[in-house]
Structure 1
Amino acid sequence: MRRVLAFVVGLAFGLGLLVSDMANPARVLAFLDVLAIPAGTWDPTLMFVMAGAMSVSAAAWLLARPRRAAVFGGAMPGPARPQIDARLVGGSALFGIGWGLSGICPGGGLAALAIGGAPVAVFLAAMVAGMALFALVDRRFAQARA
Structure 2
Amino acid sequence: MSRLSHSNTLKTAAGYLAGLLFGLGLAVSGMTDPARVLGFLDIAGAWDPTLMFVLGGAVVTTFIGYRLVYARGTPLFGSGFQLPSKEDLDAKLLGGAALFGIGWGLSGYCPGPAIASVGGLSLPLLAMLVAMVVGWFLAKRV
Fold match (TM-score > 0.5): yes
Which residue type is aligned with residue 91 of structure 2?
A
Q: Which runs of 5+ in 1 are unaligned?
A: 138-146
The aligned length equals 133
In structure 2, distance between residues paired with 1:15 and 1:82: 32
Structure 2 counterpart of 1:44, from 35, 40, 49: 49
Structure 2 counterpart of 1:90, from 52, 71, 95: 95
- 1:10 maps onto 2:10 in alignment: no
Structure 1 residues 80 and 109: CA distance shift in structure 2, 3 A:
farther
Q: Which residue of 2 aligns with 1:103?
A: 108
Q: Percent of aligned pairs with the same residue?
A: 46
Q: What is the Cα-based RMSD across aligned positions, in Å? A: 1.2
Shift of 1:18: 1.3
Structure 1 segments, 4+ long, off by >4 Å, are none
SS of the counterpart of 1:4?
A: helix
Shift of 1:80: 5.0
In structure 2, distance between residues paired with 1:121 and 1:32: 22
Q: Structure 1 length normalisation: TM-score?
A: 0.86
SS of the counterpart of 1:34?
A: coil
CA contact 1:29–1:103 (8 Å) conserved in 2? yes
Shift of 1:57: 0.4
Q: Which residue of 1 aligns with 2:7?
A: none
Q: Which residue of 2 aligns with 1:141?
A: none
Q: Which runs of 5+ in 2 are unaligned?
A: 1-9
Q: Structure 2 length normalisation: TM-score?
A: 0.88
What are the superposed Cα offsets for residues 77-113 of structure 1, whole Å, 9 maximum, x if unpaired? Answer: 3235221111111110000011011110011110111
Which residue type is aligned with residue 53 of structure 1?
A
SS of the counterpart of 1:65?
A: helix
Structure 1 residues 30 and 84: CA distance shift in structure 2, 3 A:
same
